[in-house]
Amino acid sequence: MKTKWFKHTLLTVLAVAVAFGSVSAASAASKLNGKIVINGSSALLPLTLQAANEFKKKNPKVKISASAAGSVTGPQSVRKGIADIGACDWDASLDVPGFKAFDGQVANKVAVIPFAAVVNKGVKATNLTTKQLQGIFSGKIKNWKEVGGDDAEIVVVNRAFGSGTRVNFQMKALDGTNFMSKGDNYKEVKSSGDMKTAIETTPNAIGYIDLVYVTDKMRALNINSYAPTEANIISGKYTVWAYGYYMTKGKPTGAVKAFIEYVQSKEFQNGSLKKLKFIPISAMKN
Amino acid sequence: MLDVKASSGGGVAGELGRSLHTRSGRSFDRRTRLSFYNRTFKVICIASAIFVCLILFSILFLMGRTGMLTFNEVSVAEFFFSTEWVPENEQYGALVFISGTFVLTALTMLISVPISVLVAVFLAEMSPRWLRTLLRPVLDLLVGIPSVVYGFLGMTILIPVLRDITGTNIGDGLLAAAIVLTIMVLPTISRISDDAITAVPKKYRDASYALGASRFQTIVKVVLPAARSGIMYAGILGMARAIGETMAVVMVIGNTPQLASALFQPTAVLTSNIVMQIANVPFDSTWNYALYMMGFLLLLISLLMIVAIRMLQRKGAVS
């Protein structure tokens, strides 16, 4: 009896000792390695993950953990010190509609994100001017026949306030005019994925989305007669695009700096980044 | 080593007694050890209980305190009685969401409770034994389906169907959400009501039949009233699930902050609005606090419901 009891105690003590030992060993090891935490825009997440994988292969000692919520969480996490890099669809060091500038943060351009106004496949209209887009998204134009389509009511699908895609679409495609916020044929969705489903399944629907998400069940509209293609964006004819930024607290240093430089490098920009349907920043002249 | 031999022969009680008798006077003998184990176990149990309570109270405290910060910028009257929810213009009227939650829950209950009670009556009173043993596990399985599955099916199947039937343009709205929620809470309500009806003593039915009542009369006038508190308990449990449901609702309600004047007008409820916006709000903003306040309201509502369930249970136990 006594020996058994003694064995149990001994085992427990040993287990506890081992557990503590391994914890302290792990924390000691992580101090030696560089560690990068990335949070923010879900539009940039595919790019970030791809870059992280490639970067880790070259620098096995650096640990990178990336996650995404909404664009604004990026600069917010950086301000709170939770993340080293905040991915954001707009330059968060400046004021944009609805969001104040984040002081003391540096915006590092990493990619060009094209956006497209998209409609359900059944919609006949193929081209809209900025004026027409403003009218539709503010609720003044209510029927497709007013803009060259069939006689059917327009269903407007919008992203919720705070979405980076929404901020960019409002600035670039609507010249800053306000969205409608009520109506029988108006609904809001919470992510790019939901936007995709809504446009695909709702007849007469119009919305907007990152070009990456456009499928063959929906149609990307020409805006002011120009299609959303890489060539039109680079030549400046299609204006609805935005830079994606990595926000950092002050100028980036150490592992963070190396990572951002890798993402900005020619090798990554012209390789994996292009494959993911983003456009290299070096392609833009302005 | 004496007690080892003894214990292998006798029972547990004998072992304890003997070991108490053969106290050897050493500092860590069997008795000290036992009392040490007992005391440690007690302390661990109490600590776990305290831990759970602490979590609950700190959640309540955090939600409440953060939520109350809303009222630094927004008046209480505006928050509860204004329908203007335009955070970008500093307007934080949550009436749309509060009333949306109540209307949606009422509508869900209106559809689901009658159907559930009928299902329960069928299960408990009418179905043959083999069907009953088949159906009960099926309903139990349905309870466990994740809500996001219901929401997804609602968005991809139910809404196009509703759109075709009614000829509306969107199809999102209170009715779509209520139907999805009904499908979700139906198994819960009918299973618990089923148990309540089965628990009604057979002598009640025998007495009713002896008086010449028909089967319908027996069920409506005797069995259902006797199982009333159990059925209400089931209803409240279903209601609590419907009120807190988020994922299924957010996919079919349309998420537009406007008071719904029709069943097919996109609108929003407390849960759907929180999940839509919480990822995109600045941390230290009135907007964020207002969302916390809405979460706090939800918490209070579900706490009230749990209290109601407790009271019903006690009442059921007394009568």
* Dist CA B92 CA B286 (whole Å): 9
pLDDT over threshold 60, residue B141: yes
Contact B280, A162 (CB under 8 A): yes
Quote the DSSP letter at residue A281.
G
Interface of B with A in 190-249 (CB under 8 A): none
Determine contact: B256 vs chain A, CB below 8 A: yes
Secondary structure class of A186 (helix, strand, coil): strand
Between strands B85-86 and A186-189, the pairing is unpaired
Angstrom CA distances, A10 to A15, A16, A23, A149, B156, stand at 9, 10, 20, 81, 59
Assigned token pair, B315: 């009442």
Q: Stretch A255-262: mean pLDDT, rounded?
A: 91
Q: What is the ipTM of this complex?
A: 0.71
Query: What value does the mean pLDDT of chain A take?
Result: 84
**Do B254 and A182 make contact, defined as CB atoms within 8 angstroms?**
no
pLDDT above 90: residue B116? yes
Assess contact for B92 and B74: CB atoms under 8 A. Answer: yes
pLDDT of residue A286: 55
Q: Where are the alpha helices (DSSP H) in chain A?
A: 2-32, 45-58, 73-80, 130-137, 164-172, 192-201, 230-234, 254-264, 266-270, 272-275
Q: A5-53 pLDDT, tens per residue?
A: 555 655 555 454 444 444 444 433 333 368 899 988 878 888 899 999 9
CB pairs under 8 A between A and B: 84
pTM of whole model > 0.80?
A: no
- Whether B93 contacts B82, CB under 8 Å: yes
Tell which of A163, A188, A189, A195 to mutate to test the B interface (max B CBs under 10 Å).
Answer: A188
Residue of B nearest to A194 (CA): B251
On chain B, the residues whose CB falls within 8 A of the CB of A203 are: 163, 169
Contact list, B171 vs chain A (CB under 8 Å): 202
Q: Which two tokens stand for residue B47?
A: 């600590």
A85 with A247: CB under 8 angstroms? yes
List strand residue ranges (DSSP E) for chain B, in order.
85-86, 91-92
- A9-111+244-283: CATH number: 3.40.190.10
Residue of A156, A190, A217, A247 to mutate when probing chain B, most B C-beta within 10 A: A190
In 3D space, the residue among A106, A51, A109 whose CA is nearest the CA of residue A272 turns out to be: A51
Identical fold between A9-111+244-283 and A114-235 = yes
d(CA A216, CA B233): 50
Q: What is the pLDDT of residue A12?
A: 55
pLDDT tens per residue, range A205-258: 999 998 888 888 899 999 999 999 888 999 889 999 999 999 999 888 888 999
Inspect the interface and report whether the beta carbons of A70 and B279 lie closer than 8 Å.
yes
Residue B188 touches chain A, beta carbons under 8 Å: no
Nearest CB partner across the interface for B169, out of A5, A72, A155: A155
Task: State the helix-helix crossing angle for B95-121 and B174-198, rounded to 10 degrees.
Answer: 40
Structure tokens given for B207: 């007495």
* Greater pLDDT, A13 or A56: A56
Distance, CA of B297 to CA of A193 (rounded, Å): 30
Nearest-angstrom CA–CA distance, B182 and B111 = 7
**What tokens were used for A285?**
């002249």
Class at the top of the CATH hierarchy for domain A114-235: alpha beta
Confidence of residue B284 (pLDDT cuts 50, 70, 90): confident
Mean pLDDT of the region A162-177 = 88
Distances (CA, A) of B106 to B102, B175, B177, B288: 6, 11, 12, 28
Domain segments of chain A as ranges: 9-111+244-283, 114-235
Q: Which residues of A touch B254 (CB under 8 A)?
A: 187-188
Compute the C-alpha angle A110/A113/A116, nearest 5°: 175
pLDDT at residue A69, as a whole number: 77
Q: Is A197 exposed, middle or buried (0-12, 13-18, 19+ CB in 10 A)?
A: middle
Q: Report the gap between the CA of A5 and the closest CA in chain B (Å).
A: 10
